[in-house]
Amino acid sequence: MKIVFMGTPEFAVPSLEALVAAGHQVVGVFSQPDKPKNRGMKLQPTPVKLCAMVHDLPVYQPTKLRDGTALETIRSLAPELIVVAAYGRILPQEILDYPKYGCINVHSSLLPKYRGAAPIHWSILNGDKETGVTIMHMALALDAGDIISQVKTPIDPDETVEVLHDRLARLGADLLAETVQNIADGTATRTPQDESQVTLAPMLSRELSPMNWTKPARTLHDQVRGLIPWPSATAELNGVKCKIFATAVLDETTGKAPGSVLAADKKGLKIACGEGTVLRIDTNAKNAAARRLYARLGFREAAIVPCTFNGIAGVSLACLEKRLDAE
């Protein structure tokens, strides 16, 4: 099948790879324009663009979709189907109407639950035990099109956004390959969404970051793992504002006031939370999520230093260094 693929971030890469592996003719790849990053502010290609270049696929990066130029490009490519996965742009009606088989979208939730920009984050923030991926026909209304197929998966109670993101990307790619084949065979179904069951997954903001120790440890743990890597959960410890990247819900109870530091050991700080529950904040030396994040930002671990942090003994801190390129 002749397909135009539209996507931008890492989440979309497995879907593009799946279409290529299945032998479909990907006649063009649309992705967001390159953006400047890092200290040098050099333009960086999107992950989808890099993937397309590896497979020698033509890449298009329009800044606008409503001036007719993108539509003319699509007409010249003559796709039978447009596949969208985290493209980051709203398609105008004339593009939605062009392909023979329409436009389909890979969405990382079990629609109609979590329509919007951040479904993976909100499934974890809300402590859900299950999520999945939906392939749907696209409509002008946000994530409101008819459902073609879905796949479900459990959420581990300690799974972070980063881990779940990668799992759903792979699940979505497999489901996409199967769904596109069904569309080609004429066996694909479409089911309207139940509007009474719609929930939203709005964009994240720093307003979600502050941790409230009067909440139960499980709720705070969900907050931490649901806000990695941005905007990240934050907490004040002994008057110092800290970003929190890894926690654990302990099988302990306490009568201390919420926010009290109960103990500090090699694993981290034990904090009293609401309803008598206890949360452990992992120290940087044990904090794999934070260490992966800083590694991606170009920092190198120079040393692990035992110290007393804000009067709390037995804390291990990771010392980081980064080489700054000369201007």
> Cβ(89)–Cβ(65) under 8 Å?
yes
Sign of CA dihedral 219, 221, 226, 228: positive
pLDDT tens digit sequence for 53-76: 999 999 999 999 999 999 999 999
pTM comes to 0.86
Q: Which of 137, 131, 141 is nearest to 180 (CA)?
A: 137
Average pLDDT over all residues of the chain: 90
What residues have CB less than 8 Å from 97, skipping those under 6 apart?
none
Give Cα 292 distance to the centre of its chain.
15
Cβ neighbours, 10 Å, residue 78: 13
Burial class (CB in 10 A: 0-12, 13-18, 19+), 42: exposed
- Quote the crossing angle between the two packed helices 13-21 and 161-185, to the nearest 10°: 30
Q: Which of 113, 202, 189, 192 is nearest to 145 (CA)?
A: 192
Mean pLDDT of 209-224: 97
DSSP character for 200? B
CB burial of 222-240 (b: ≥16 within 10 Å; e: otherwise) equals: bbbbbbbbeebbbbebeee
Pick from 83-92, 94-103, 299-308: least confident: 299-308
Q: Which of 295, 296, 302 is nearest to 318 (CA)?
A: 302
d(CA 96, CA 71): 10
Rounded to 5°, angle at Cα 176 from 104 and 55 = 100
pLDDT tens digit sequence for 13-24: 999 999 999 999
> Cβ(245)–Cβ(218) under 8 Å?
no
- Give me the domains of the chain, ranges plus CATH numbers: 2-197 (3.40.50.170), 206-321 (3.10.25.10)
Q: Does 81 score more than 80 pLDDT?
A: yes
The tokens for 76 are: 């010249």
Question: In the chain, which ranges are continuous DSSP H helix?
Answer: 13-21, 47-54, 69-77, 93-96, 119-125, 161-185, 217-226, 288-296
pLDDT tens digit sequence for 254-290: 999 999 989 887 778 899 999 999 999 986 544 565 5
| Band of residue 327 on the pLDDT scale cut at 50, 70, 90 | very low
d(CA 11, CA 33): 17
